[in-house]
Amino acid sequence: MTGPLRGMRVLDLSQQLPGPYATFLLAGLGATVTKVEPPSGDAARHLDPELFANVNAGKASVVLDLKSDDGRARLLELARESDVVVEGFRPGVTARLGCDAATLHAIRPELVYCSVSGAGQTGPLAGHPTHDLSLQAMAGAISGDVTRIGVPWVDLATGTSAALAITAAWHAGGGAYLDMSMLDAAVAWTRIKPAGLEPGPEPTYGTLVTSDGERVVVALLEDAMWRRLCAALGWTDWVDDERLARYVDRRTHGAEIRQRLERDVATMTLDEVVALAEQRDLPLGPADATADPVAREQIATRFPSDGDLSPLPAVLLDRLGPAPRLDS
């Protein structure tokens, strides 16, 4: 394995997404990752096989029953040969299993030990069960009804942050304990982009419906882009209106602008909206662009594959190989 993390040996005790995504990123940068699984396997093998295959590419699998003396003894042997340990148990579980940071640092002081948990190792919710959506709720990131699992951005943010922290600690010489909390990631990311300046809808950001019943997205914030939109839609009364010249001003008139935009888009077909966007250089397009030829070409350019849109860059998949079979 080549890459800037060549030589890093990672023991991954975590399951499902945040921890395994962190170690997947490390593997992509050259680390050797051994995945420790219970006899039943990582729950993601059964809950979401495609996700499991994606985030565990290139890892080895070792089955250990950490509730048994033999399993714990083997884990200590593996820890002595590792540079990084990642675990995703609830707080207190590793101490009961005899693989907590204090125990492993006693046998391998240079170890970077990373705990990934829902709410962190301390506080009244430290032991509470959580998932991505519940952390979004705590951080105030949910708007409207949610009826399906979308992109689990809290899991991915936590995994990315963990990989960065692990890399920094390893390069610094190791001997570190990292308490990586999904709640921390959710709050930190949410506060980067707080709630809108005023209540009500975004004036020119969201989904709209065309005359042929198709959905399109508009993603327009900049003042210069606003003037182009006004010109494109024939809004001569608004193009130079000082009341709406700046985004913060338009935000206070969000409902009025939104109603007019919805009304005008409802008179056009999807093809007409797409053509207008291309002619006027506007960020308008299909709400589901997965079948759009130009979008597919762009994605394929960035993620080369053999005719299909691979979920991961082909170069990374080629380097890492497939996810491991259980205990292999």
Tens digits of residue pLDDT in 208-259? 999 999 999 999 999 999 999 999 999 999 999 999 999 989 999 999 999 9
Q: What is the mean pLDDT of residues 13-32?
A: 95
Distance between CA atoms of residues 79 and 96, nearest Å: 17
Tokens of 174: 């190791």
Q: Is the dihedral of CA 10, 181, 118, 158 positive or negative?
A: negative
DSSP state of 242: G
Walk me through the domains of the chain, giving residue ranges and CATH numbers.
9-192 (3.40.50.10540), 205-293 (3.30.1540.10)
Mean confidence (pLDDT) of the chain: 90
**Within 10 A of 90 (CB to CB), how many other CB atoms are there?**
16
What's this model's pTM, rounded to 2 decimal places? 0.85
Closest among 35, 46, 50 to 85, alpha carbons compared: 35
**Residue 149: what pLDDT?**
78
pLDDT at 309 over 80: no
Compute the average pLDDT of residues 279-287: 93
155 is catalytic: yes
pLDDT band at 105 (very low <50, low <70, confident <90, very high): very high
pLDDT of residue 307: 47
Q: Is 112 helix (H, G, I), strand (E, B) or coil?
A: strand
Least trusted range by pLDDT, from 43-57, 141-155, 179-193: 141-155
**Nearest-angstrom CA–CA distance, 82 and 328:** 18
- Catalytic-role residue among 12, 100, 155, 184: 155
pLDDT the model gives residue 303: 65
127 token code pair = 């032991």
Reply yes or no on whether the pLDDT at 143 is more than 80. Answer: no
Question: SS3 of 148, please?
Answer: coil
Nearest C-alpha neighbor of 35 from the set 48, 22, 46, 47: 22
Q: Can you list the alpha helix ranges (DSSP code H) found in the chain?
A: 18-28, 44-47, 49-55, 69-80, 93-97, 101-107, 132-139, 153-171, 182-192, 223-233, 247-252, 254-265, 270-280, 293-302, 314-320
